[in-house]
Amino acid sequence: MTDEVDLIVLGGGTGIFAASRAAKLGLKVVLVEDRKIGGVCLNWGGLATKTLTSTVELFKNIKKSNQKGIVGSLSLNWDKMKENKDIICSRFSKFPEMFLKKDGVRIIIGHGEIISTTKVKVISEDNEEIISTKNILIASGSKPISIPGVELKNPILDSDQMLELESIPKDLIIIGGGIVGLEFATICSNLKSNVTVVEMLPKLLPNEEPEVNKFLLSNLKKDGIEVLVNSKVTKVNLVDNYVNVKIKTPSEEISRNADKVMMAIGRKPNIDRQKLEAMGVKTTSRGILVNDRMQTSAENIWAMGDAVFPHLIANVAIKEGKVVASNIAGKDSRMDYELIPRCCFTIPEVAAIGLTEKQAREQGLEIETVKVNFSAQNFRAVASNKTEGFIKIVTLTDGTIIGATIVGASASDLISEFTIAIKNKMTAKEMSEMIFVHPSFSEAIQNALEKIQGLSMI
């Protein structure tokens, strides 16, 4: 048995941020990861898919740039794209390990099993040991789920398996029209796959502004993607070398054949509920129960990220891990879920923060809204040929900003300006008085802010 440590982190995905912060705060930390440091985000998720979407976006921009003087025949090569994705993921995933070791974190590649509230058995390739610890952080992430009775096995794939395809399927059905499904639909359709997206809910991204759904449906159609909303998959059959999918739409029951089917209906936490509850850790079918300090019902066991649900996004998990580390180090840190930026990496991107118009009205708030085209008085958008999209802002009647939606180039970057504004309860007038770079995409925000005040040129 090794000497007692202050913290064992079970999971080397976003758990690396908790481990690093804890070590920087003077704690003795062990990190256990059973696959690759960086987890899903660095190896099979965020970094991998953003590498692919950036290539697709570049391709789309060049395709429509004849008037800019770019001429010639172009095509996307999946083998080269996948090779580039693998190189970038491999290169980048080395940095967390390097920095963690520099911070003094001991890294073990192996399986960690909680055997008591103060002991963890760690089984690696060539060793087995029991480590005593003052605190345990469960950062075990999640895994994709499938519809009942349908096994995730080739040719029915999850998002991880999609990234390892030998070739892009001629016909692809994606079950689930959330952010993961739409991102892969965008990638594959531009690689000349015939893509059908089946979404059970009446709208895409139903918790966002209705204008987002309308824009996405129109834009995806331009890419040749068929989107079936308010539709349910009733049966999936393997037939020789293809998959037959029965789909119930609002008007009829239809049949579609595909080379591959991607399951993108959600994920479930990687936890053993029975063992955790034996340790005094309360759980539900959706994950581990924690308080706003990320502490479970067992005082020295903490949890973060996909293991706790319901925010299955990396930026939330990163913040949760830092909250845990601060609390273990003796500080009083709390998790606030009110202001979480929400992004969907279609082309162009969709990003939002705070309340939508509908949500604000349901709360009985007296509000005003404004919506402007992304390209309105935006020289950078026009010059870059990235004019698609819009900005919508929701304010109280005194001008205080309570919500914003951006659809357009670099929306995931631009939304942070509204995150700061809403956090600090800024009014549209106060935010508009800042000097924005000219020309830049951010001027779209300034135009919308000035329109609220009746001061815009547009």
Q: What is the pLDDT of residues 280-329, one digit of tens each?
A: 999 998 899 999 999 999 989 999 999 997 777 888 999 999 999 999 99
Question: Please, what is the average pLDDT of the chain?
Answer: 92
Taking each helix axis from N to C terminus, what angle separates 210-222 and 179-190, rounded to the nearest 10 degrees? 20
The set of residues, in sequence order, having a beta carbon less than 8 Å from that of 358 and lying 6+ positions away, is: 209, 210
pLDDT at position 241 is: 86
Confidence of residue 63 (pLDDT cuts 50, 70, 90): confident
In DSSP terms, 195 is beta-bridged to 172
Termini Cα distance of the chain: 70
Q: Do 341 and 416 touch, CB atoms closer than 8 A?
A: yes
Return d(Cα 108, Cα 129) in angstroms, integer: 11
308 class by beta-carbon count within 10 Å (0-12 exposed, 13-18 middle, 19+ buried):
buried
Please give the order of strands across the beta sheet that includes 136-138. Answer: 2-5, 127-133, 119-124, 106-116, 29-33, 7-10, 136-138, 301-303
Which of 2, 250, 438, 458 is the catalytic position?
A: 438
Q: Where are the alpha helices (DSSP H) in 252-356?
A: 273-278, 314-328
Q: Mind listing the domains of the chain with CATH numbers?
A: 2-143+268-328 (3.50.50.60), 156-264 (3.50.50.60), 348-452 (3.30.390.30)
pLDDT at position 2 is: 61
Nearest Cα residue to 384 out of 12, 97, 62: 62
Q: Do 187 and 56 touch, CB atoms closer than 8 A?
A: yes
CB atoms within 10 A of CB 8: 27
The set of residues, in sequence order, having a beta carbon less than 8 Å from that of 73 and lying 6+ positions away, is: none
pLDDT at position 38 is: 75
Confidence of residue 1 (pLDDT cuts 50, 70, 90): low
Mean pLDDT computed over 246-270: 95
Contacts 24+ apart (CB under 8 A), 412-417: 412/341, 412/343, 412/345, 412/349, 412/351, 414/351, 414/441, 414/442, 414/444, 414/445, 415/341, 415/343, 415/351, 415/352, 415/353, 416/341, 417/442, 417/445
Is residue 111 annotated as part of the catalytic site, yes or no? no
Taking each helix axis from N to C terminus, what angle separates 15-24 and 314-328, rounded to the nearest 10 degrees? 30
pLDDT at position 225 is: 97
pLDDT at position 90 is: 83
Whether residue 10 is predicted with pLDDT greater than 60 in this model: the reply is yes
Return d(Cα 217, Cα 215) in angstroms, integer: 6
Distance, CA of 350 to chain centre? 12
Of 40-49, 52-61, 215-224, 316-325, minimum mean pLDDT range: 40-49
Q: Do 108 and 122 touch, CB atoms closer than 8 A?
A: yes
Whether residue 147 is predicted with pLDDT greater than 80 in this model: the reply is yes
Q: Do 157 and 164 touch, CB atoms closer than 8 A?
A: no
Return d(Cα 458, Cα 455) in angstroms, integer: 9
């999209």: which residue's tokens? 389
Return d(Cα 47, Cα 33) in angstroms, integer: 18
pLDDT at position 103 is: 93
Of 43-47, 175-179, 393-397, minimum mean pLDDT range: 43-47
Confidence of residue 195 (pLDDT cuts 50, 70, 90): very high
Confidence of residue 454 (pLDDT cuts 50, 70, 90): confident
372 class by beta-carbon count within 10 Å (0-12 exposed, 13-18 middle, 19+ buried):
buried
